[in-house]
Homo-oligomer: A and B are copies of this chain.
Amino acid sequence: MKYGVVAFPSKKLQDLANSYRKRYDPHYEQITPHMTLKDAFEADDNQIKEISDEIAKIAKRHRPFKLHASRVSSFSPLTNTLFFKVDPSPEILAIHKDLHSDPFGKETKYTYVPHITIAQKMSDSEHADVFGQLKMAGINHEEIIDRIHLLYQLEDGSWTVFDTFRLTGDEQ
């Protein structure tokens, strides 16, 4: 089964992201707006208890963090994906690092770019057009994220929350 770890922003930021996703993101139906902290990974039923326990430990080591969505950006030319860029604060990078250290395997080979996807899988011309519009609209939103979620994916591609972990910082 595929699992992943995300933070869901506030209703306000999710509603804004969905106003774009509804039109421009074919994954709109599969999950509500989110910032991925750990990409989809395979685990079986036996492993997930251990993984869940490990994420619980990580959550206890980190305090709630500020999420600052500061501008609309694009992964082009890699992919035609538009997103709210989230400032890569030391706090966010530290959680990401813990979620990619043992026992989760080594660091990823890509630089982590915290973001909330708002559009993807567009043609080059649609991407250029929509990027122009959304850059103009812009984004500048700050909020506090105090929890992260472990999700699993259903056969139809949609995601269900398996567990929620409060960022308490109790065991720093």
A106 within 8 A of B: no
What's the minimum C-beta distance from A149 to chain B, rounded to whole angstroms?
6
A14 near B164 with CB under 8 A, answer no
What's the minimum C-beta distance from A46 to chain B, rounded to whole angstroms?
14
* Residues 25 to 64 of chain A near chain B (Cβ within 8 Å): 28-29, 32
Which residues from chain B contact A149 at a C-beta distance below 8 Å? Answer: 161, 164
A8 near B161 with CB under 8 A, answer yes
Q: Mark A1-30, 1 if CB is under 8 A from B, else 0.
A: 100000010010011001000100000110
Where chain A touches its partner, the secondary structure class is mixed
Which residues from chain B contact A1 at a C-beta distance below 8 Å? Answer: 11
B163 near A147 with CB under 8 A, answer yes
Nearest residue, chain B, Cβ from A17: B154
Which residues from chain B contact A154 at a C-beta distance below 8 Å? Answer: 11, 14-15, 18, 32
A152 within 8 A of B: yes
What are some 19 contacts across the A-B interface (CB < 8 A)? A1-B11, A8-B160, A11-B152, A11-B154, A11-B155, A11-B160, A15-B155, A15-B156, A18-B154, A18-B155, A18-B156, A18-B158, A28-B29, A32-B158, A32-B159, A149-B161, A149-B164, A161-B164, A164-B164
* Residues 126 to 150 of chain A near chain B (Cβ within 8 Å): 147, 149
Which residues from chain B contact A29 at a C-beta distance below 8 Å? Answer: 28-29
Size of A's binding interface in residues, CB under 8 A: 23
Which residues from chain B contact A18 at a C-beta distance below 8 Å? Answer: 154-156, 158
Whole-angstrom distance between the alpha carbons of A167 and B149 in the complex?
18
Nearest residue, chain B, Cβ from A155: B15
Whole-angstrom distance between the alpha carbons of A79 and B29 in the complex?
25
